[in-house]
Chain A
Amino acid sequence: MLQISDVRKTFFPRTPNEVRALQGVSATIPKGTWLSVIGTNGSGKSSLLNAVAGSFIVDSGAIRINDQEVTKLPEHRRARWIGRVFQDPFSGTAPTMTIAENMALAVRRGKVRGLGLALSTAQRRDFRDRVAAMGLGLEDRLDNPIGTLSGGQRQSLTLLMAVLKKPDLLLLDEHTAALDPKSADQVISLTKQFIERDSLTTLMVTHSMQQAASLGDQLIMMDQGRIIHTLEGDAKTRAMPADLLAKFEAVRQSKQLDRSAAEVLQSQYV
């Protein structure tokens, strides 16, 4: 369903600020599978998601969605396959527009937008039902600007909008990181509900070991632009947050060893 093969990306190449964000990442997400990505800050996990979404074009490698080569396609032309939720709850919705208008925008994701009226009565009723089903009590506020809602409410609506037209691939970019614990739980339970209902193919980047261990079918761990560990099947089901933390600790220690070893070598030979 999603195939990423040997993708590389360097930001600001040949400058002091050079960042090798992705250094040959390959991964495959079969249809209906939920893949979680964890990693430290700067490990390249968000870059991986942005590369798939088309926020930037990769230097080399290939990305295929639904057996379609999308490596060179700009972001807006990949949107027909991709539903997306950002980390910042304010990024996913248009604040001065109403809930209903935002949903009308989302329901035409990747389609031609013509001169037909954006909101029909039938569509409003459908939107109302879907918002009511989320159980946030927002169904009577369809005509309120989304900017008047809380971060958690906006993120829930962004999620609803991302799955409104069933996406071939759902991208979740640390989508609970900026929320208070209660809202985060709410958004996570909605996420589970939507993904299971439509058996969506999902790529979720997360900062939370808890989420990484308890959610999803597969797990990859990234560090310095590379995948350093993959867990699937039984191993994934059995994984506990503590195991993942231990893995990270091991990586950190091996890096420290490298650095001190490098210093020793430098003092001796340079």
Chain B
Amino acid sequence: MLLNIVVCIKQVPMVTELPWDEKTGSLRRDLSSGMVNPACKRALEAALQIKEKHGAFISVLTMGPPAAEEVLREAFAMGADRGILISDRMLAGSDTYATSFILAQAIQKEVSGYDLVLCGAYTSDSETAQVGPQLAEELNLPAAAYAENLTFSGRTLRVRRLVDNFRETLEMELPALVTISMENYEPRHTSFAGLDKAFQNADLLFRNAADLHITSSILDQHSSRTKVRKIFLRKSQKDNIIITGAAASAVDEFLDKFEGRIGAVIGKSIEAKKRG
């Protein structure tokens, strides 16, 4: 069984503090260097482990600016067989809906007879966790999200995943799409010989919108349905509130202000206990 696997990866900023432009609401990608999104790297590791165990041909797909070639080179160094970079100014600013449509076009056009599509469960720069499931819809594939383990029995894929503090195991027939969580599949370190080879004879395809037959009118139909209106840093701070006056009225005032929150903490309504 030589599985034909597609791994979708995304380049994200390598930062410990995420910088953004407060005026436009977008990330200041120019300030940081890029890396493979951590969950996507685990999806690639899952594919590599399947390749080692069962044999597979791994195509890695990414969409981004020309510099996203880096993440494909890194994927080659880790053991991927083929890379596809979709890059076109026309596709810039795609939200998850548009992205999953474009990825689906690329997979259908460039990877014939795929058995399994793997994605990272979510990205460190936007955390929507939508692209994988949306891509499954576009490709009309059965899908499971947040997987921590994959096993095969013939053409049956068994997926174990952690949801809401319990584990469940799902089975589906190939072809299928699975998104990989951060629980398992710790990515291997990259070897230097691998990196050297990744720059020598790598099977790398560059595709633009026209190559994928994506015209502006098609893109309009699948254009981004969401728009980032505002972006802000979540701030928390302590606030001192001083209640003055007679004890009884102060207690009333205190309960008026805080009974909702106290109730939430102790798990029952305290309204009945109020005086009068």
Q: Do A and B bind each other?
A: no
